[in-house]
Chains A and B, each alone.
Chain A
């Protein structure tokens, strides 16, 4: 990033001096939102913006409901009844009563805390809802329920154009980003990379295909194993499925158990439960990989794709959510639509290392220009400055 970029960010940050930006989501750890906020909040601070971060409270029952909401918004079939909506409303009511809402801009992330906006009439302020998930084909019952809250916001933010529904509030397009100097993305010495592979018991004797994601049905871990088994019929290789769990995802233990069962103690399949905060381990596992997969059934944006591309790795990923924004098929990676298609794409890359290398290099350049945190920071600063101003050209 150039000096001009930093100057521009400082200039924009200076215009927000004295304003408090209060970010609210449902967890401090685990998942893409927490990861982005853990980077974004301190960086905003360095630019002179008083950005803070709060989380809502919720019991297991509440998070089970929000998990169902999450899946349903992604288009998965879920059984959601009036009792679930009641649990959500009751928990939200408690948060509204207990939570201190002090920001000049209240920036609410994802559906879990969306109902906090009920306090807008009393408090005033600028309210923005940041939707990190793909709501292009949502379960209509869940969407209608949440929409009643979303329309009370001053603006909504989506990660891809296709996620944008017709709403009576302004909507902005802001793609998420990765931090190139974070432990998860910075360059690592080869000795560290090798030692991490050794620590997790992954021999580097044959090509390694890796998917990094939470143990979540939407990430299709079973599909990953099936695609891998199709590839291994003709090419000797290994599969690494590395993931963690998040406090707001009660389903992950169940998925992990199921994945282990499907792996059937296959010595070429490594199911790795990576503890939270093991960013260097994830970084190293991505770097030892020959190909990186993201065979999700639904994605908000799929930051793991940007992480893999940043490491110049050839990526095979499903054409869902924000992934097509990151992968232009056959230019910065390969898009697939099913298990067979994924297996075919992996075979293509393993058989053509020069082609794979070219895709990886293009992918890194694409991420450098569009999905690094500096661009994300700039978009957020502009959003905070633009909120409440209707003009198409804003002179600061």
Chain B
């Protein structure tokens, strides 16, 4: 199922992120997602998020598919050159994966193998162009593919909290011109700012999904504010979370996420949930948000 079909149905599309494990015991990760099948349209599988070694996105996507969970394979430019990337795109098609999310990727120095060579042979725009070329039956070098070409729904990402925002928007335009059919954003905690961003990109006419990251603790919020580009958790939310106390923290955190989703969903075309280990709470949050 290509995600674009869900957008065309006019519903608020819901996706959530899956982080493969740092080891081969992946069964539990997949099992925890099965109950979400009827509530979540598709599952993003990250590609060595934060440059930390884990099981790859492609294998995980295939396992999801085998459990009737729709995967979105994330593909970053950090680890593979254009040959490796194009090959993985073809391999993904062979395994029945229909949705790709193309991004630049975190730098190697951020992860647990900081001495590794950062590849970045392509950037996200060039990667989208490459996949579009493959979908038209040619590889990047102009060679014809044998047989029918792969078909995907292509996604890209944007950071609506970036300052300055203009270069992000220009790049978003480039990504769409290169073939991106939907956009997922970095986590949003300020509805007004997001509304302003959405106004600026209205002309691009592409479905946009607001990112939601569950705030597990006030400490996590403060950490993200200090360290993660484009994320800003306002003081009011941090105070609200702190005031609830440790015992009610999970409940309050889910309540905050649900409230954000409720306010954001009418501003855009979908919600992308990054639960960071709290996958078991996703159903409850969606319930509270009326999705």
Please indicate whether A and B come from the same complex rather than being unrelated chains. no
B contact set with A: CB distance below 8 Å: none
